[in-house]
Amino acid sequence: MTTAQHLNCPKCGTVIDVNDGISRQIENELKEKYQKELQAEMNGVAQREQKLKDDLAAFEEKKRKEN
């Protein structure tokens, strides 16, 4: 069983590569999904980094007051 990989536009006759269109759509969907996941992870890292900086500043302030 073979599947058609090209379609012809009935109005203008332009050859359309079906696989190319589907591949591009899947690629765009995956790219968007993983960009959102990456951004969420980067936001989490930035929050953890800020918490560490805040904790370090609080520790240093406490240490300074003890001395």
Over residues 13-22, the pLDDT tens digits come to: 898 888 888 8
pTM here is 0.61
**Confidence at residue 1, expressed as pLDDT on a 0 to 100 scale:** 43
| Bridge partners for 7 per DSSP | 16
* Predicted confidence (pLDDT) at residue 6 exceeds the cutoff of 90: no
Q: What contacts 24+ positions apart, CB below 8 Å, involve 24-27?
A: none
Say which residue, 10 or 37, is predicted with more confidence: 37
Element (H, E) at 4: none
How far apart CA 29 and CA 26 sit, in angstroms, is 5
What percent of the chain clears pLDDT 70, i.e. is strictly above it? 94
> Stretch 27-40: mean pLDDT, rounded?
98
Q: What distances in angstroms separate CA 62 from CA 49, 65, 67, one per listed residue? A: 20, 5, 9
* Predicted confidence (pLDDT) at residue 2 exceeds the cutoff of 60: no
Helices (runs of H) and strands (runs of E) counted in the chain: 1, 2
